[in-house]
Amino acid sequence: MLGVAALLVSAGARAEWLVDNNSPATLFLERTYVFLSPNRIHRLGDPRSPEHLFFEAQLAPHFFFPQYHRGSFRDPGGEYFFTAVATPYIQLRLLDTSSRPIIPPSYMPQLTFQVAHLRLLPHSAREGSPMRGLALAANFIVGHHSNGEDGCFFANQTGTDPDCVPSEGTLPLNEVTGSFATNFLRGELYALVAFDVEQDLDSAWLVGGGSFLEINSSLGIGGLTSEERAVYGDGFWGFSVQAQRIWHRHRFLFEGTLSRPFGEKPHRRTNLSAELSALPWWGAGFGLFTRYVHGQDSYNILFLEKLSQWQFGLVFELPPGVRLREEAREQEARRRLPGFH
């Protein structure tokens, strides 16, 4: 991943880089979700378990540092971006019990460094004809994942972390109040090919995917402990495929993802997910989605729990390439929302 990032940077190193503070291009970042599910949530050690999920939220607001870019996606050499993004990512899960408590959240703040490249493919910039393009990106992410609890990691231990008795615990995990934390490094690679792209970028087809490798770290405050590493593992790897239709600025997306932990004992399941979403242009980034997840729970210390879950709800993702669209329409009148004049 670092090699690909270095190649992207070196390819644009000879040109002038400009700073954009107003309308950064938003590419290949986490989405925000709020959803319901008909499936029950299991927590070992909870006498009310399994319980219905009232709702879950995966909140990923992005705070952009000034974005560096050079060139234009219409230039022969394309356009390059360098971006740093801070994301205080949080997962909240509220169970449908008498008091509807939010069980310990997942706190996953992260800092993303991204290098991206957009360009038209050869022989696709003829006047009045649909275009074909390519988007490449490499993300390097430094993050933390914890659940904010101070109970002992294993269910057979008593006391509070790190003063637990016995000092060497055994499975099962303390899934109600057990302390869990890790720091991680993550590399991601993405590629998307766009075709039948209209000159004003209103409509297009996009297909592609990505891959990732995540490594858990014991370094720093809140790093992974040796007993957590034995169960949680050394990290994850995985890949995704994506197909997207942009039609008059409405976006329809399918994404399939496979992820697999490694270095853990006992071995955990492979996680599979398939998602369909629709984001109308008048929704200003909001849309509807449905997703099926099969494997094991990804919610903080519940990672040993098997999960087969349907999710239905709202998704939020800023439309990509706001500045690119403005550039494509610099000679045209700005489109207005229906009913506003």
pLDDT tens, position by position, 220-279: 989 999 999 999 999 999 999 999 999 999 999 999 999 999 999 989 999 999 999 999
Predicted pLDDT of residue 325? 55
What is the number of other CB atoms lying within 10 angstroms of the CB of residue 259?
Answer: 17
Predicted pLDDT of residue 341? 31
CA proximity to 335, closest of 244, 245, 250 = 250
Which element (helix H / strand E) includes 324? helix 322-328
Q: Which residues contact 82 (CB under 8 A, 6 or more apart)?
A: 9, 17, 67, 68, 69, 113, 114, 115
pTM of the model: 0.89
Q: Residue type for 84, please? A: A
Q: What percent of the chain has pLDDT over 70?
A: 88
Grade residue 76 by pLDDT with cuts at 50, 70 and 90. confident
Grade residue 336 by pLDDT with cuts at 50, 70 and 90. very low
Give the span between the Cα atoms of 256 and 61, in whole angstroms. Answer: 23
Grade residue 339 by pLDDT with cuts at 50, 70 and 90. very low
Q: How far from each other are the two terminal CA atoms of the chain, in whole angstroms? A: 47
Q: How is residue 235 written in tokens? A: 């990290």
Cβ–Cβ < 8 Å for 287, 2: no
Q: How is residue 339 written in tokens? A: 């009913």
Between 338 and 254, the more confident residue is: 254
Cβ–Cβ < 8 Å for 298, 268: no
Residue 228: φ, ψ to 5°: -70, -40
CA 59 to mean position of chain CA atoms: 10
Mapping DSSP onto H, E and C, the string for 247-265 reads ECCEEEEEEEEEEEEECCC
Mapping DSSP onto H, E and C, the string for 201-232 reads CCCEEEEEEEEEEEEEECCCCCCCCHHHHHHH
| Average pLDDT taken over every residue of the chain | 88
What is the number of other CB atoms lying within 10 angstroms of the CB of residue 178?
Answer: 27
Give the span between the Cα atoms of 158 and 95, in whole angstroms. Answer: 26
Predicted pLDDT of residue 13? 54
How much is the average pLDDT of 46-72?
A: 91
Q: What percent of the chain has pLDDT over 90?
A: 69
Grade residue 14 by pLDDT with cuts at 50, 70 and 90. low
Condensed to tens digits (0 to 9), the pLDDT of residues 146-194 reads 999 999 999 999 999 989 999 989 999 999 999 999 999 999 999 999 9
Residue 282: φ, ψ to 5°: -75, -5
Grade residue 331 by pLDDT with cuts at 50, 70 and 90. very low
Predicted pLDDT of residue 311? 98
